[in-house]
Amino acid sequence: MDTRPDMIFFWVALWSYLAATVGACIYAGTRKPSVRGIVYGVTLVGLVSQTVALGVRWAASGHPPVTGPFDYMLLLSWAAVLAFIIMWRTKGLELLTAFAAPVGVLGMGVASLFPSRIEQQLIPALQSYWLWIHVSLAALAEAAFAVSFVAAVMYLIGDWRGWERLPDKETLDMVIYRAIGVGFPLFTIGALLAGSIWANSAWGAPWSWDPKETSSLIVWLVYAIYLHARLVKGWRGVGAARLAVLGFLVTLFTVLGSRFLGGLHSYGV
């Protein structure tokens, strides 16, 4: 086991989220408020540990921890868990927010597959203040999409197996819409606007149809379809939930796919 301070906090966070995930499953079955309280406490321990891990990595590298897939997944899952924690006291979302921890497990689990070394010196292409603007805004947007994904999955489960144990469908529908409504402008500013400004100074063109750029455009189009249909015709229900799930799957592909497809972004996430 890695004894570096950031990694100790990383593992504390991951194990806390794992424990909280088990607790969330128990809560889903029992609906005991005391179990939810424990889940909240353990999730909070995980979030604090994850925050410390990020802070240590920031201090040790001298720049925001937004380079490489390990840091990115750590940041993305941190933001997603934080979003759930912020919604914790919202009435009607007791079960939804209890499922913050699985998102943390998923994000940190994926992060653990990548090298965790701390790079003090950034490669020339990454030496720009646009790095943290572009990456951190994209991560926040994708964290919001993760929230919409969890709500959409619950919606689809409810539609499939009945709604007795789940938040009511109107509430879930609203969470999906609001999460996408928060994430979409952030994604546009962070991934597209900031990304194109940076690309223009680094690569000589704001847009190069690189696989990551293209898949970001697909993410944008999928959520644009959702919002357009929602805002113009009030589209909701199973179809909208399925589209929210699809949107997040394409988001995951965008985050991780460029590692396999190559292109200009292949040195980063």
> How many residues appear in the chain?
269
Q: Which amino acid is at 182?
A: V
Please spell the DSSP secondary structure of 138-181, one letter per residue.
HHHHHHHHHHHHHHHHHHHHHHHH-STTS--HHHHHHHHHHHHH
Under rule CB under 8 A, which residues in 52-91 are in contact with another protein?
Answer: none
Contact 27, 98 (CB under 8 A): yes
Whole-angstrom CA distances from 210 to 127, 205, 263 are 20, 11, 6
Q: How many residues bind another protein (CB under 8 A)?
A: 54
The residue from 172, 177, 245, 255 that contacts another protein (CB under 8 A) is 177
Under rule CB under 8 A, which residues in 188-247 are in contact with another protein?
Answer: 188-189, 192-193, 196-198, 200-207, 209, 211, 214-215, 217-218, 221-222, 224-225, 227-234, 236
Q: Which of 144, 261, 149, 260 is nearest to 191 (CA)?
A: 144
The residue from 181, 242, 252, 256 that contacts another protein (CB under 8 A) is 181
Rounded to an integer, what distance in angstroms lies between the CA atom of residue 100 and that of residue 43? 8
Measured from the CB atom, is 36 or 57 closer to another protein?
A: 57
Under rule CB under 8 A, which residues in 250-269 are in contact with another protein?
Answer: 257, 261-262
Closest approach of another protein to the CB of residue 134, in Å: 12
List residues near another protein by CB under 8 A. 119-121, 123-125, 127-128, 170, 173-174, 177-178, 181-182, 184-185, 188-189, 192-193, 196-198, 200-207, 209, 211, 214-215, 217-218, 221-222, 224-225, 227-234, 236, 257, 261-262
